Structures are given as structure tokens and as C-alpha cells.
Amino acid sequence: MTGKIHLNYVIPGDDFTRAGEASGEVKKKLKQMGVSPEAVRKVAISMYEGEINMVIHANGGTIDVDISTTDITIVLKDNGPGIKDVALAMQAGYSTAPDKVRALGFGAGMGLPNMKKYSDNLIIDTKLGYGTTVTIVVKIG
């Protein structure tokens, strides 16, 4: 593998059925590139959790994926409501998801802890009323 690869996705906020398309594509791409199954799995799970969060909590946004020879960086940016207390949001089981989201199979408060577990670096930059940028880094090899 040589050089850098950059991928960009616009995530619609009003179409729950399409949430995860971007993560699915990235997963396929990494597999094709011969990235280790371990790293592919870490990216797939953490990016998908972030993509779902973007749709259910923030009305969509954009995702930028950079693949280098040493790591994969995923930047999820939204203009949603922001997160009031990040430390609290990081706790397993904490969720503000409404019942209608729970009926769709999400809203257990497991996403952010799971993203932490499956990434080598997780940075959450958020401002109430302005939006949230989540950066996930997964090392390759």
C-alpha cells in the first residue's frame, strides 16, 4: 500500500435506513486493501457507532476518512445540539435517546464506550448548540 487515501461522506440526518452505508463502504475498502482483520473490525465498529450517533442525535453530518500506511483517521462532524457533559456521555448506559430510537434497536448508551474500546485514540470536541466533532484513530498493523 502506498500513499494516502481520502474518503468523504455526507450523512443524511433524516434517513435512518441508510445510516451505516458509509461505514459499510469503508469496511469493504479496507478489506480490499488487505488491512488486518483486527484493524478492519475496530474501524467498522467505531465508525458505525459514530455514524449512527450522528443520525439519531445530531441530524446527520459529514465523515472524512484518511488512510495512511500507519493509521486510519475518521473525523465525524455534525452541527447537532452538542454534548453537555462528555464525561457523563462516555459512561456505559448513559443515553438521552427517545423511545422511538430505542424501538429501532439503539439507545442503550453503549456507543461512545464502545468507540473508546475499539479505537486507539478517541477525541470528542463539542460545543452546546453548535455541534460535535468526533475523531477516531485506529493504528494499522
Partner 1 sequence: MTVEDVKDVLGARVICGEEHLKREAHTACGADMMSDVLAFVKDQCVLLTGLCNTQVIRTAQMMDVVCIVFVRGKKPDQAMIDLANECEIPLLCTGHRMFSACGMLYESGLRGGASY
Ligand X SMILES: Nc1ncnc2c1ncn2[C@@H]1O[C@H](COP(=O)(O)OP(=O)(O)OP(=O)(O)O)[C@@H](O)[C@H]1O
Residues that bind partner 1 (CB under 8 A): 16-20, 23-24, 27, 41, 44-45, 48-49, 52, 102, 104-111, 113-114
Among 20, 60, 61, 111, binds Mg ion (CB under 5 A): 111
Residues with Cβ within 8 Å of 40's Cβ and at least 6 positions away in sequence, in order, are: 27, 30, 31
* Residue pair 113/90 in contact by the 8 Å Cβ criterion: yes
In the complex, what is the shortest distance from the CB of residue 121 to ligand X, in angstroms, rounded to a whole number? 17
Nearer to partner 1, 38 or 127 (CB): 38
Element containing residue 134 per DSSP (H, E):
strand 131-139
Element containing residue 78 per DSSP (H, E):
strand 71-78
- Distance, CA of 3 to CA of 63 (rounded, Å): 20
Question: 106: alpha, beta or left, given left = phi > 0 and alpha = psi -120 to 50?
Answer: beta
In the complex, what is the shortest distance from the CB of residue 10 to Mg ion, in angstroms, rounded to a whole number? 20
5 binds ligand X (CB under 6 A): no
Among 11, 22, 35, 78, binds ligand X (CB under 6 A): 78
60 binds ligand X (CB under 6 A): no
46 binds Mg ion (CB under 5 A): no
CA 51, 52, 55, 56 dihedral sign is negative
Task: Give the residues lining the site for ligand X (CB under 6 A).
Answer: 49, 53-54, 57-58, 78, 80-83, 89, 94-97, 106-112, 132
